[in-house]
Homo-oligomer: A and B are copies of this chain.
Amino acid sequence: MIVRNLTDARKTRRLVETAGWNSVRLLLKDDGMGFSFHITTIYEGAELPMHYRNHLESVYCVSGEGRIEDAGTGEEFPLRPGVMYALDKHDRHILRATTEMVMACVFNPPLNGLEVHDESGAYPLQVDVV
């Protein structure tokens, strides 16, 4: 059994910080769960265009308020605690945080923890080094 907590993980390389958001990767590929699990904080006022070409992602809003726009259709959905969105078609999307938002995120395939967003807003799919 693996047990981890956000406070301790924030002091390690599990914390990734960049413009507009930070993310704590509580589970990564090497944990062998077949998915990764992250607690991500989106800063108030952030507007983040994203496109995960190589991953499916689900995002559950734990706290805060904002909006998610499907960049393919222009459709917008309000985000508040209890709302989940899933990018089941690698959907291009724009995330907007009205207030700071805390999100519980699941990625399949799992991130290995070394990815950074590339210029398209995607995480590149890492090739395992044998």
Q: Does A5 contact B (CB under 8 A)?
A: yes
Inter-chain contact A34/B108, CB cutoff 8 Å: yes
Inter-chain contact B58/A27, CB cutoff 8 Å: yes
- Over the window 69-83 of chain A, the binary record of Cβ atoms lying under 8 Å from chain B Cβ atoms (1 yes, 0 no) is 010000001000011
Inter-chain contact A37/B5, CB cutoff 8 Å: no
Q: Does A111 contact B (CB under 8 A)?
A: no
Q: Does A17 contact B (CB under 8 A)?
A: no
Q: Does A60 contact B (CB under 8 A)?
A: yes
Inter-chain contact B84/A37, CB cutoff 8 Å: yes
CB-CB contacts below 8 Å: A10-56 with B: 26-27, 31-35, 37, 39, 56
Inter-chain contact A104/B5, CB cutoff 8 Å: no
Quick one: closest B residue to A84, CB to CB?
B26
Residues from chain B with a CB closer than 8 A to the CB of A31 are: 86, 88
Q: Does A122 contact B (CB under 8 A)?
A: no
A-B contact pairs, 12 of them (CB 8 A): A3-B68, A3-B84, A3-B85, A5-B82, A26-B58, A33-B106, A34-B35, A34-B56, A37-B58, A37-B86, A62-B104, A104-B104
